[in-house]
Amino acid sequence: MPLLIVFVLCVLFFVSPCPARGIPPSYPPLAVRPIHSPRHSVSSSLSKYHHSAPPQIQDCEGISCSDPLTLTPIGSPCACVYPVQVEIDLGVAPYQLFTMIPELEVEIAAGTYLKQSQIRIMGAGASARNTEKAAVTIDLVPLEGKFDNMTAFLIYERFWQKKVPINVSLFGDYNVIYVLYPGLPPSPPMPGGSSGSIPSTIGSHEDPISANVPPRKKHSMNSASIAIIVFTICSFALVCFGVSFVLWKLKSVGRSQSAIAATFATSTSKTDGIRSIQSPSAVTSSRSMSFASNVATLPASVKTFSLSELEKATDTFSSEKVLGEGGFGRVYHGIMEDESEVAVKLLTRKDHNGQREFVAEIEMLSRLHHRNLVKLIGICIEGNIRCLVFELVSNGSVESHLHGVDKWKGLLDWDARLKIALGAARALAYLHEDSNPCVIHRDFKASNVLLKDDFTPKVSDFGLAKEASEGSKHISTRVMGTFGYVAPEYAMTGHLLVKSDVYSYGVVLVELLTGRKPVDMSQPQGSENLVTWARPLLTSQEGLQKLVDPSLHGNFDFDNLAKVAVIASMCVHSEPSQRPFMGEVVQALKLICNSMDENNEETCIAAEYESNSWNESASQLNHGLTPFSFVSMEYGSNSFEI
């Protein structure tokens, strides 16, 4: 019976040829034209493909877009735009996928940081590479115009590096077939050297509803031709039977192996708005080469330097040029040919984690822009050498001014410390609340707060930073950070929150108040840990007099210092839910600055930007309309009331 079935299939294959799946149909030239009929006609090919047509915008009924253009999403101005075209193979059968199309759109939108309305599942059917898998074609549609080069490249990288987390329990593992968009690099070759059915241009893809099939010419066959065909079919049937048997045996073995591998696969589970994330597998060498060869797709503001340029600027990375060293690299002082001074960070780690951190740092820094963040100027990739080039912030760091070599240059007075506290808080508030997606620094500390000559702070070193979605909680099996600054819940459980950064900020704030290191083994027993020692002293007048940095010599307004101390006390609270958000800290510190006299106010705020939203918030706070109870304080001789 199996031989008979194979024989019949082979006869159908030879006698009734059809156009190859990988050959794209031809399309008319790109144009926007009035619409006179439905965009797609329903045909018998619906039995082969499932199609989720993009919703029509009510005001856009008068236009239609020629392939590969498509209409903008709902809520955007009517226009025909280029979508990013993606094809993936999912580890589920097509009939299982059809009921889960909306869930797949949600997964793709979350993984690419786009709106769900920008994700369109254009077609789904049996994969030409494995008929037991579903091949899905997806359009990622810009809201207007086109995707900028960086966004398109990030989408490209996220798909090829499998950073788009798709629920394995629903859709199985996925393989990327192609990602197409003008300006993107060619898709890496698929395993086995086959490129699959990858369209050669942005507009050459298979229509999910119908295809133009050229008519076959009628012709007659003589007896000799029929005999040859029958003999060939019989021979081929025997070969097919043998191959089918071998494949069946191999498939039974492969299923058991895939079941074992599935337990180690990258997964994303969504429960009550909390996402648990595991690091993706290491990027393959071919994709690393693809990344290195396409640095030109980064924003124009990010320059590309040659290794020889950086070696010349740093005297071949001389030890005399070293400015500092972190967990992922050493920083050198460099002087470029145009006499401009830069800081060159040379990655020293050679493992896969170091490589992933480098890619993550470039992606992150290229889209983060704030006056209190260190600016990325350029990059260098040559062989195994990877460098980041930053603006030089030449006045040391908070750590060096409080505890190190810059301590003897001059005292950090109270006005400078308050200015540093406000600027650093603004930087973290930007990362947590204004960047998309949210960014958790993970290694905020005094040595990562660099200072300009006027003591404007610049937060640096995003080598450990992590992307996060709003309200999300991350679980890490490897706690990263610096001892003395790491939040207790992160150190004990691996749970990483934006409030973990708030704790680290609170430690730096206590350093500014006390002039002490976060961990100082020269202190008396029981007082080595700064937070443990300072926490009970922060909320009483007598405690503050004992705690305040003696090098300030009393040159500060005690009311303002007390308010800053209460903010620090809340930031280092042992319970994350009791810590304020960084936006609240910024507003509270600005109220303190506004309460100072005119000269101090200029010192504290003059270099900072002002906004109508802040003035409105400050007015509300002064009238008690917002719940920042830690801003207004009354205190007696013993304790503060928060």
Active site residues: 443
∠ CA 274-278-282, nearest 5°, is 150
DSSP 432: I
Secondary structure E strands in 197-294: 268-271, 274-277
Q: Judge whether 398 and 421 are in contact, CB under 8 Å.
A: no
**String of DSSP letters for 31-48:** -EEE--S-SS---GGGGT
Q: Judge whether 420 and 449 are in contact, CB under 8 Å.
A: yes
The pair of structure tokens assigned to 457 is 């702070």
The maximal CA–CA distance of the chain, rounded, in angstroms, is 114
Q: Judge whether 491 and 479 are in contact, CB under 8 Å.
A: yes
| Strand order across the beta sheet in which 119-126 lies | 119-126, 134-140, 84-90, 174-180
DSSP 325: E
| C-alpha pair distances (Å), 98 with each of 123, 152, 170 | 10, 28, 12
The pair of structure tokens assigned to 626 is 């917002």
The pair of structure tokens assigned to 579 is 């810590």
| Three-class secondary structure of residue 353 per DSSP | helix
DSSP 404: S
**Rounded distance between C-alpha atoms, residue 467 and residue 364, angstroms:** 8
| C-alpha pair distances (Å), 139 with each of 85, 118, 208, 337, 405 | 5, 8, 12, 45, 56
At 439, which helix (H) or strand (E)? strand 438-440
Is 218 labelled as part of a ligand binding site? Answer: no
Q: Judge whether 616 and 640 are in contact, CB under 8 Å.
A: no
**Rounded distance between C-alpha atoms, residue 393 and residue 377, angstroms:** 13
Cα dihedral sign for 438, 269, 130, 41? negative
Token pair 């949600």 is found at 106
| C-alpha pair distances (Å), 10 with each of 17, 132, 228, 476, 587 | 11, 20, 14, 54, 75
DSSP 50: B
**String of DSSP letters for 240-266:** HHHHHHHHHHHHHHHHHHHHHHHTTS-
192: left (phi over 0), alpha (psi -120 to 50) or beta: left
For residue 581, give the nearest of 617, 542, 611 by alpha carbon: 617
**Binding-site residue positions for ATP:** 345
**Binding-site residue positions:** 345
